[in-house]
């Protein structure tokens, strides 16, 4: 079954699916761009490693502290011998141990100079949730903004606050930021919501080179089919994170029309 949503499928934002979606989308973008950019450019898949612990471990589904009471044991005795009082009951807890998180992103590299021309990021909860992961990503983002490198930032997650930009007072569920090194501090921000198709955008390259259009909607629909997400998703349940009231009404009607809701 094809993706039943015209644009972003909110069920793909589930913590159980997003890591798979993220990795497949990174590969799909690389596969789309490589034949269009050769021989002037190469597209490399790179990784950044986050060391997180404590509360930030929630980013990958590991709670920082879980408290569970041990069952009490009744001690019975008929002896006249004095029995020492049992020690205080212990609690089972999880300690905030360090967790290593690896996330992929793309670099477009000029073949001749070996310099990075464009960085393409598909945001994850690690990048957006308050904490060390977001702080590290914001530092990386500012470093790119301060360089001669273009940045494409794709945000297909409704959770948490968007990464900061100035001059935008329009709220939207999803966004794509295209920052061109030669136009800073100005950048192009594509905003879209659940009923909208994901907009295509031009990939910024060196001046004078033809810029391919990235059909993100087509790529997402393709990985939805290849990964058989329709077999993994229960469309009778509400998506995680939950939709706004307006989006929920719209999604219910759409899924009912597609025969996925009773």
Q: At CA 227, angle to CA 163 and CA 129, rounded to 5? A: 20
Residue 96: the pLDDT is 63
Which three-class secondary structure state does DSSP give residue 11?
A: helix
3-state secondary structure (DSSP) of residue 147 = coil
> Domain locations in the chain?
10-64+93-159+176-235
Interstrand relation of 150-155 and 116-122 (parallel, antiparallel or unpaired): parallel
For the chain of 262 residues, list the mean pLDDT of each consecutive stretch of 10. 96 95 96 96 87 51 35 50 73 70 89 96 93 90 96 97 89 96 96 97 96 97 96 96 96 96 78
Calpha distance 56→16 (Å, rounded): 17
Question: What is the Cα–Cα distance from 208 to 70, expressed in whole angstroms?
Answer: 69
Q: Write down the pLDDT at residue 61.
A: 38
pLDDT score recorded for residue 173: 96
CATH number of 10-64+93-159+176-235: 3.90.1570
R_g of the chain computed on alpha carbons: 24
pTM of the model: 0.83
């Amino acid at each position: 079954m094809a993706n039943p949503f015209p644009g972003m499928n909110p069920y793909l934002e589930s913590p159980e699916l997003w890591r798979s979606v993220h990795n497949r989308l990174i590969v799909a973008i690389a596969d789309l761009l490589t034949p269009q950019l050769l021989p002037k450019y190469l597209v490399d898949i790179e990784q950044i490693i986050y060391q997180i612990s404590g509360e930030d471990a929630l980013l990958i589904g590991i709670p920082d502290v879980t408290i569970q009471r041990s069952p009490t044991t009744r001690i019975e005795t008929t002896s006249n011998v004095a029995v020492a009082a049992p020690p205080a009951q212990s609690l089972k807890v999880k300690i905030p141990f360090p967790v290593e998180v690896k996330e992929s992103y793309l670099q477009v590299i000029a073949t001749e100079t070996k310099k990075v021309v464009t960085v393409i990021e598909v945001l994850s909860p690690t990048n957006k949730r308050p904490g060390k992961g977001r702080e590290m990503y914001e530092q990386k983002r500012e470093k790119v903004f301060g360089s001669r490198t273009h940045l494409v930032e794709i945000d297909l997650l409704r959770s948490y606050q968007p990464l900061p930009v100035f001059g935008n007072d329009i709220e939207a569920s999803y966004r794509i930021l295209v920052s061109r090194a030669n136009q800073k501090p100005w950048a192009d921000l594509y905003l879209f919501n659940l009923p909208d198709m994901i907009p295509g955008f031009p990939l910024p390259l060196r001046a004078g080179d033809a810029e391919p259009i990235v059909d993100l909607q087509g790529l997402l629909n393709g990985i939805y089919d290849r990964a058989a997400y329709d077999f993994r998703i229960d469309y009778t349940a509400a998506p995680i994170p939950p939709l706004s009231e307006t989006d929920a009404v719209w999604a219910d009607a759409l899924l009912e029309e597609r025969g996925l809701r009773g």
